[in-house]
Amino acid sequence: MGPGANAQADEAILSSAFPNVFFWNQPLQKNATHAFGNLIEEAKSQVAKLSAANNGNPVNVIAHSFGGHIFHALSLQIPDLLKSCSFYGTGYDIPGGFFKLLTVMRQSPSTESALKEKMDTFLAVHHESKASDIWNYIGLIAQDPAFFRHYWPTQDLFNGFIATAAKTEPMDMESFQNILNDFLNSHFTPENLSKSSWQGPIEIHFGDKDPLIEINKETGLWKTIFPQAHIKVLKNSGHFAHLEKYLKA
């Protein structure tokens, strides 16, 4: 899930198939100071509760999108409480992900010509991804009210998700900004791009149509942190590959 998002739609779609899975809703982070750090403390507390409820055994984690970064932080701080993990749609390079989405939208016939001109003007000067430009990327992307459609490989899957998500609480944009800024300032550093001491099994799933993921680049980045990771590329899947099968059912 993204910063400031919740797992309510995921739970509505998946809970009947996976009744024993606990779906964690991120606590909102209204204080910009240490927002990502505070989120990790909340996550550590939740993992500890789940472990205690399971006779002290380590837990299995499924992480979507930004959730992979939460797991990475947990693996550095409470490795003994983590048994395994599966990532879906998690890019290490978040600024690069938004840069890729911007270029995908620029090439899309559904993007209005006036917005394409703004994108062209920006991309003529900014040829490659930089963390310092991330809010410029997001600002341009958000000018298209239908940008979220690009996260899905088909219109039917997008429609199915939106029908469910409309009944849930929306992403909290203040928390999104606070968490992402703190993450980029405190955790998205060269020091953190190094081998983790956590050696548990991990699968990393990339949808081949995910507009936020450069698969070869992301494989190399995550393999630097988790050399034991098994990479799976899911054909005809987008950013929400973990939900697509169950939306089709």
Residue 242 lies in a domain: yes
pLDDT tens, position by position, 32-83: 889 999 999 999 999 999 999 999 999 999 999 999 999 999 999 999 999 9
**Residue-number span of the structural domain to which 217 is assigned:** 8-94+155-248
3-state per-residue secondary structure call for the chain? CCCCCCCHHHHHHHCCCCCCCCCCCCCCCCCCCCHHHHHHHHHHHHHHHHHHHCCCCCEEEEEECCHHHHHHHHHHHCHHHEEEEEEECCCCCHHHHHHHHHHHHHHCCCCCHHHHHHHHHHHHHCCCCCHHHHHHHHHHHCCCCCHHHHHCCCHHHHHHHHHHHCCCCCCCHHHHHHHHHHHHHHCCCHHHCCCCCCCCCEEEEEECCCCCCCHHHHHHHHHHHCCCCEEEEECCCCCCHHHHHHHHC
pLDDT of residue 149: 97
Report, as an integer, the average pLDDT of 230-246: 97
pLDDT at 221 over 60: yes
Residue 29 lies in a domain: yes
How many domains does the chain divide into? Answer: 1
Residue 179 lies in a domain: yes
CATH of the domain at 51: 3.40.50.1820
Residue 177 lies in a domain: yes
Residue 143 lies in a domain: no
Q: Where is pLDDT greater, at 116 or 248?
A: 116
pLDDT at 214 over 70: yes
Residue 147 lies in a domain: no
pLDDT at 249 over 60: no
pLDDT of residue 190: 82
Report, as an integer, the average pLDDT of 123-137: 95
Residue 25 lies in a domain: yes
pLDDT of residue 7: 96
pLDDT tens, position by position, 43-53: 999 999 999 99
